[in-house]
Structure 1
């Protein structure tokens, strides 16, 4: 069953909460050995035009007992054990193989752990995979959290600068949830800010959330970078964000994260349907 047909109850069913899932290095090694980790894709949409601009790769653990588990169930352990590097490699290899099959104007976004920003091998890995899969680095968007850039701002600026020089696009995740006061944001080489879903889902009921979105978009415009909103679940949110000046969006309103086969079918059918942003 593909993830676009999974309900919230399928992902975290009663009595099977993430805290019941114990993870350690041995368990994650077994999961990696048995190919239990898989990449799903969620489309990103140009809000003014309705065109698909790319896909975000989202890692899932297809646990044989607990079902499909989200990154919160395993990323912290992987970072502690050092297995985050192997998971990141899996995402890069799988995602690059996928976008090699797509039209060259479509991008691929992936989240990068705060630990990887201190890893000298990240740039080499990305460059090598671009060469292997014939991917233009400009098609790749690397998303970092505020934490990744604040722990060692100078080191982050240097590494992000190298990635930017090599052609990769850079994004900051969870925008609007505290990053706005981050010093020297303009020096960090970002090409996009991603508006956090917690703001999107409350924008119609919370003036604070709406103001945060407006200030995020204004900051991005002042820096000459794009904005993308995640967690869009209905037409009202999509149109509201478009009217506020947000350029791109993703969320269940357009499509749930899908496996590769369903993603390719979804993409083939997308332009055949009436516009959802009317």
Structure 2
């Protein structure tokens, strides 16, 4: 159906209003001209000295009155139409500038208003601080509790932000779980900005109730500063974003001011992320294997798989360089499963007595389908589940224990062994050991390496060993770097260890030569043991 364009509607309405106005003016003039004569004739007729008004003039007078009433009604209609149109335009402008969920400004309106604020503040010799807040673990809230809970968290977060900020602060939601606040201040009051940022972080660290569930969030906050008119809003938002992610890397739930050196770190981070995305399909990420031995006898009992990046540009890159980037970018799940698959293909030739231990990122334990994905790898590679040990760090248990329980129980039902890694770092408790079906406890290397110089560290190791004995859970000690530490661990009753004293992580080829030399390959055909090298030397070989 054809519809008249709005511009034509408005011009047509304007023409009608002009015609109506002209008629009313003419009627008013005619009323002034005829009204006096008619009224004089009416008065004379009433007192008996005249024959009454002229019929034509009387008719004209009535017509004039009707036209004037018509004009007055049209005037009221126009006023109402103007009022409704003004209200509609104001509402449309509000909707165009406002985030409907929180009532804060949206990104477009923020960029416009923020640029104006910078110009005004610089003219008054003041500075502008831009806060960029990102809620920590917000994706987990949506994944576990649903999007209705996520919306509720955003609304409560907005209420808390508004309660802390001064009334004249500009507040906006950029999108997702990112909020921005801007305020002008005197250069001498930078300490007040620090205090305000800390108060915001504290306010967002409280639990939120939704459908009888307690949801805990936090926030990382980056601060950018504009002290001259040459800074654009886009630049300030980007700088605050960089500072915010720097705060996440430092442990989250804190505020950080932007510094120029951070930009270079972001560029390096982006290069690493790009390298991971491009390197995965090219097979640049490979498993290395660190020996695990029975400390008392020196017998080889297994290997922990450690990931390495064989970069064609930079050579062998250790995991501490790229794992944090893979976790932050969401690539760790795909990357880890790729390398675990390769490790299973390699390890299925090992003797059945040799265990393959693999570390699982805390991010992977947020995936409800993780146990199915790992089980699928076991089936596709033909690797025996009984030879696989999954290592889960204590920090993985902190966020969502019910989901972790579901995952580890499923893996346990498949015959996979479970080890609690980095035990003693502060997150776990006896309730976790009772609630989850762990087979082994691994003492964090920080306690093992500190044993010789710290009676406290030695006491902690002893306590963990005794705890393992009481729960019938064998203990593995990480970070065994010398013979004296190995002897002390044996005295304390720790059965299994790994570290530089027993051998560093080695490539698949070196690991296979070691196993072939010890007769621990299912199919020794094709193995190429190093001639003249004893088993201990191979164990100590550095990749």
Give TM class, smaller chain: 0.7 to 0.9
- Check conservation: 2:398, 2:427, Cα contact below 8 A: no
- Residue 412 of structure 2 corresponds to which residue in structure 1? 164
Question: How far did 1:248 drift?
Answer: 0.5
SS in 1 for 2:494: coil
Question: How far did 1:198 drift?
Answer: 1.4
Question: How far did 1:98 drift?
Answer: 1.3
- Check conservation: 2:420, 2:442, Cα contact below 8 A: yes
Q: Deviations over 1:241-274 (max 9, x none)?
A: 1111111011111111100111112233458657
1:242–1:211: structure 2 CA closer, same or farther, 3 Å change rule?
same
Question: How far did 1:132 drift?
Answer: 2.3
1:21–1:144: structure 2 CA closer, same or farther, 3 Å change rule?
farther
List gaps (5 residues or longer) in structure 2: 1-264, 520-533
1:23 matched to 2:298: no
Q: How does 1:101-116 map to 2 (within 5 A)?
A: 101-116=349-364
1:130 to 372, 378, 383: 378
- Check conservation: 2:398, 2:428, Cα contact below 8 A: no
List gaps (5 residues or longer) in structure 1: 1-18
- Structure richer in helix, relative to its length: 2
Structure 2: distance between partners of 1:109 and 1:43: 10
- Check conservation: 2:368, 2:403, Cα contact below 8 A: no
- Check conservation: 2:375, 2:411, Cα contact below 8 A: no
Q: How does 1:250-269 map to 2 (within 5 A)?
A: 250-269=498-517
SS in 1 for 2:376: helix
Question: How far did 1:239 drift?
Answer: 1.3
Q: Which moved more, 1:142-151 or 1:78-87?
A: 78-87
SS in 2 for 1:55: strand
Structure 2: distance between partners of 1:260 and 1:274: 17
Question: How far did 1:172 drift?
Answer: 1.2
Structure 2: distance between partners of 1:110 and 1:190: 14
Q: Which moved more, 1:264-273 or 1:189-198?
A: 264-273
Structure 2: distance between partners of 1:217 and 1:258: 28
Question: How far did 1:102 drift?
Answer: 0.5
1:197 to 434, 437, 445: 445
- Residue 75 of structure 1 corresponds to which residue in structure 2? 323
Q: Deviations over 1:183-203 (max 9, x none)?
A: 332211111111111111111
Q: How does 1:11-160 map to 2 (within 5 A)?
A: 22-24=268-270, 25-160=273-408
1:263–1:21: structure 2 CA closer, same or farther, 3 Å change rule?
farther
- Check conservation: 1:57, 1:91, Cα contact below 8 A: no
Pairwise CA RMSD: 2.2
Structure 1: distance between partners of 2:279 and 2:517: 34
Structure 2: distance between partners of 1:86 and 1:184: 28
Q: Deviations over 1:22-51 (max 9, x none)?
A: 233423112223322111001110112221
Q: Deviations over 1:214-262 (max 9, x none)?
A: 1111111111111111111111111111111111011111111100111
- Check conservation: 1:180, 1:216, Cα contact below 8 A: no
Structure 2: distance between partners of 1:75 and 1:124: 23
Question: How far did 1:90 drift?
Answer: 1.5
SS in 1 for 2:335: helix
Structure 1: distance between partners of 2:280 and 2:432: 39
Q: Deviations over 1:68-110 (max 9, x none)?
A: 2222211222122221111111222111011111001111001
Runs of 4+ more than 6 Å apart: none
- Check conservation: 2:293, 2:301, Cα contact below 8 A: yes
1:27–1:189: structure 2 CA closer, same or farther, 3 Å change rule?
same
Residues matched between the structures, number? 258
Structure 2: distance between partners of 1:89 and 1:234: 33
Structure 2: distance between partners of 1:128 and 1:274: 36
Q: Deviations over 1:153-176 (max 9, x none)?
A: 122122211111121111111112
Using CA pairs below 8 Å that are at least 6 residues apart, which structure has the higher relative contact order?
A: 1
Structure 1: distance between partners of 2:504 and 2:361: 23
- Check conservation: 2:304, 2:357, Cα contact below 8 A: yes
- Residue 463 of structure 2 corresponds to which residue in structure 1? 215
1:36–1:235: structure 2 CA closer, same or farther, 3 Å change rule?
same
